């Protein structure tokens, strides 16, 4: 990480000459102007998930490293190459979460949420951390919206969450998507598939990259995640998992496709969609965008029926997905912001103090109000209000104070009225 870290602290003279601090490569500031889009997306996500009876569950940003080694999986790229792992002052190995699913599973087990009897449907939005090579759509600190459902084995719930993802993408104005679905089988049928893959990989061993040669031994399914083009081409010639599914997995997958058809969600079965994390069983899915380049997955997810049991907890199945906020926002057509500002224009010291009290009154009544403490002429105030695209200007001068009646100018129409603060508030509420 040394190439990314800030200049090392040195003596004061050296500090003075050092370059100004910058954000770490692969991380971003989300500035005013951009942040409003995030807020809209977050609001629409919450509203949507609550319609489907999901509740928010917030877990810590860092967790014991073994949670991800065991949960995400020791053969996944995320665990082998991409984790931000560090030893804390107590000598514990901790990791900045690279994904959210294992944290939710841990929280359920720790708080025995399964005993509450409430539907186990959770959502969360927040930063995740992966040490991957930054490029467009791939960052080291990125943000996910994650949803998980527990205790529902039926393929109908997989279809329901795919439909929920579509409902949210629709509200966000995301067009040009394709839904890919697959089944990666279960512990009963996947071993035979792994043997077939291992055999296929052995035949092409010398053409595979060193990483895939290793994966062929440890977990040949992970060859499908390789980003090297030659390996991807070879993987396309490998046998399809669809031909190895056991009866139960085949039935589950068929039921998923029926439910998607009932919900009128168009999909394409992609037998190579094994997803990069080790825990999936049966359903996997992704929604990809035709408007993005290499990093085209807007969201991905699937079923993970063994994770809780493998952690030593109750045998409760899970299914869910995570959406990449940066990627979704890069293709979203969001409705314009509905913010309307009342700008307070005053002349002189007394008017400034009256303006301050008036701003308090309007804000207390739900009007977004801006007063700046620079002594400006009325003309300069209006110039400033224009620049800020204020919806209205409140005019406060000595005459207005004497009468207890203030001016209110509608900046779109140019129409001006005067009135007491209560009358003006009524006006604002009507417009
Ligand atoms: P994932 O496919 O690793 O799945 O990530 C989900 C989404 O997060 C991706 O489709 C993408 O939009 C976004 N994403 C991933 N990595 C990056 C990155 N480096 N920069 C920007 N965006 C990124 C999971 O994380 C699973 N936990 C999903 C899940 C939930 N499966 C079951 N439940």
- Ligand 1, residue 148: give the atom nearest the CA: 33
Query: How far apart, in Å, are the Cα atoms of 23 and each of 26, 27, 141, 194?
Result: 8, 6, 11, 43
Per-residue confidence (pLDDT) for residue 16, from 0 to 100: 58
Query: % helix / strand / coil in the chain, to the nearest 5?
Result: 40, 20, 40
Instruction: Locate all alpha helices (DSSP H) within 24-154, ordered by sequence.
Output: 35-51, 65-71, 77-81, 101-111
Closest C-alpha residue for ligand 1 atom 17: 138
Residue 396 CA to residue 359 CA, distance in Å, equals 11
E-strand ranges in 97-216 read: 120-129, 141-150, 177-183
How many Å lie between the centroid of ligand 1 and the Cα of residue 155? Answer: 21
- Helix (H, G, I), strand (E, B), or coil: what is residue 408? strand
Q: How many residues does the chain have?
A: 431
Residue nearest to atom 21 of ligand 1 (CA): 138
Query: Of all atoms in ligand 1, which is nearest to the CA of residue 298?
Result: 12
Written as tens digits, the pLDDT of the chain (431 aa) is 344 444 445 455 555 568 999 999 999 999 998 999 999 999 999 999 999 999 999 999 999 999 999 999 998 999 999 999 999 999 999 999 999 999 999 999 999 999 999 999 999 999 999 999 999 999 999 999 999 999 999 999 999 999 999 999 999 999 999 999 999 999 999 999 999 999 999 999 999 999 999 999 889 999 998 889 999 999 999 999 999 999 999 999 999 999 999 999 999 999 999 998 999 999 999 999 999 988 899 999 999 999 999 999 999 999 999 999 999 999 999 977 778 999 999 999 999 999 999 999 999 999 999 999 998 999 999 999 999 999 999 999 999 999 999 999 999 999 999 999 999 999 999 98
How remote is the CA of residue 240 from the centroid of ligand 1, in Å?
A: 24
Q: At what angle do helices 155-171 and 35-51 cross, to 10 degrees?
A: 140
Q: Which of 80, 83, 144 to mutate to test the pocket of ligand 1 (most atoms within 8 A of CB)?
A: 144
Q: From the alpha carbon of 299, which atom of ligand 1 is closest?
A: 10
- Alpha carbon of 334 to ligand 1 centroid (Å): 22
Residue with tokens 């509608």: 410
d(CA 44, CA 120): 21
Rounded Cα distance between 16 and 250, Å, is 66
Q: From atom 14 of ligand 1, which residue's Cα is the shortest distance away?
A: 324
Mutual angle of helices 247-262 and 155-171, in 10-degree steps: 40
Alpha helix (H) ranges present in 263-348?
307-310, 325-331
Q: Which of 159, 158, 112 is nearest to 314 (CA)?
A: 112
Look at residue 15 in the predicted model and tell me its pLDDT. 56
Structure tokens at 107: 């929280």
Q: How far is the CA of 98 from the centre of ligand 1 (A)?
A: 9
Cα–Cα distance, 123 to 100 (Å, whole number): 10
Which residues partner with 135 through β-bridges?
A: 138
Q: How far is the CA of 145 from the centre of ligand 1 (A)?
A: 9
Whole-angstrom Cα distance, residue 283 to residue 300?
Answer: 11
Instruction: Report how far residue 367's alpha carbon sits from residue 373's, in angstroms, rounded to the nearest whole number.
Output: 19
Mutational pocket test of ligand 1: of 142, 322, 328, the residue with most ligand atoms within 8 Å of the beta carbon:
322
* Residue 227: predicted pLDDT: 84
Measure the CA–CA gap between 428 and 180, rounded to whole angstroms: 49
Residue minimizing CA distance to atom 6 of ligand 1: 322
What sign does the dihedral 154-159-160-162 (CA atoms) show? Answer: positive
pLDDT value, residue 170: 97
The pLDDT of residue 5: 42
Separation of 245 CA from ligand 1 center, angstroms? 25
Taking the centre of ligand 1 as the mean of its atom positions, its distance from the CA of residue 57, in whole angstroms, is 18
What's the 123 CA to ligand 1 centre distance in angstroms? 14
Structure confidence at residue 335 (pLDDT): 78
Tell me the pairing of strands 341-346 and 368-370.
Answer: parallel
For residues 219 and 77, give the distance between their C-alpha atoms in angstroms, rounded to a whole number: 11
User: What lines the ligand 1 site, CB under 6 Å?
Assistant: 99-101, 130, 132, 137-139, 142, 144, 146, 148, 276-277, 297-302, 320-322, 324, 326-327
Sign of CA dihedral 334, 336, 342, 347: positive
Are 328 and 298 spatial neighbours (Cβ–Cβ below 8 Å)?
A: yes
Give me the half-sphere count of Cα atoms (radius 13 Å) on the Cβ side of residue 24. Answer: 15
Q: pLDDT at position 6, please?
A: 44
């Amino acid at each position: 990480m040394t190439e990314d870290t800030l200049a090392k602290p040195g003596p004061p003279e050296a500090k003075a000459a050092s370059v100004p601090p910058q954000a770490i490569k692969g991380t971003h500031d989300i500035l005013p102007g951009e942040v409003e889009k995030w807020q809209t997306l977050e609001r629409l996500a919450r509203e949507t998930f609550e319609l489907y009876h999901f509740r928010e569950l917030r877990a810590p940003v860092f967790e014991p490293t073994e949670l991800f080694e065991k949960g995400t999986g020791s053969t996944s790229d995320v665990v082998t190459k991409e984790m931000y792992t560090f030893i804390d002052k107590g000598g514990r190995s901790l990791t900045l979460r690279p994904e959210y699913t294992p944290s939710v599973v841990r929280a359920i087990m720790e708080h025995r949420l399964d005993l509450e009897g409430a539907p186990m449907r959770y959502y969360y939005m927040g930063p995740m951390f992966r040490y991957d090579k930054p490029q467009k759509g791939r960052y080291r600190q990125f943000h996910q919206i994650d949803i998980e459902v527990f205790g529902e084995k039926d393929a109908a719930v997989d279809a329901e969450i795919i439909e929920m993802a579509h409902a949210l993408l629709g509200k966000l104005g995301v067009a040009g998507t394709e839904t890919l679905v697959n089944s990666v089988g279960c512990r009963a049928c996947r071993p035979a598939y792994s043997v077939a893959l291992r055999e296929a990989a052995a035949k092409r061993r010398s053409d595979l990259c060193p990483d895939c040669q290793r994966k062929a031994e440890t977990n040949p399914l992970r060859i499908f995640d390789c980003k090297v083009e030659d390996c991807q081409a070879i993987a396309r010639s490998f046998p399809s998992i669809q031909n190895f599914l056991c009866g139960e997995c085949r039935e589950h997958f068929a039921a998923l496709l029926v439910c998607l058809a009932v919900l009128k969600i168009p999909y394409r079965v992609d037998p190579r969609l094994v997803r990069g994390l080790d825990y999936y069983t049966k359903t996997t899915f992704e929604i990809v965008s035709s408007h993005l380049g290499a990093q085209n997955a807007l969201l991905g997810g699937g079923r993970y029926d063994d994770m809780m049991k493998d952690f030593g907890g109750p045998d409760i199945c899970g299914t869910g997905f995570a959406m990449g906020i940066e990627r979704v926002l890069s293709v979203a057509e969001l409705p314009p912001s509905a913010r309307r500002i009342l700008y307070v224009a005053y002349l002189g010291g007394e008017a400034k103090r009256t303006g301050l009290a008036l701003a308090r009154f309007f804000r207390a009544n739900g009007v977004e109000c801006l007063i700046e403490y620079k002594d400006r002429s009325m003309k300069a105030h209006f110039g400033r209000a224009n620049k800020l695209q204020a919806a209205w200007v409140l005019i406060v001068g000595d005459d207005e104070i004497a009468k207890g009646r203030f001016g209110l100018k509608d900046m779109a129409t140019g129409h001006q009225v005067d009135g007491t603060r209560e009358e003006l508030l009524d006006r604002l509420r009507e417009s």
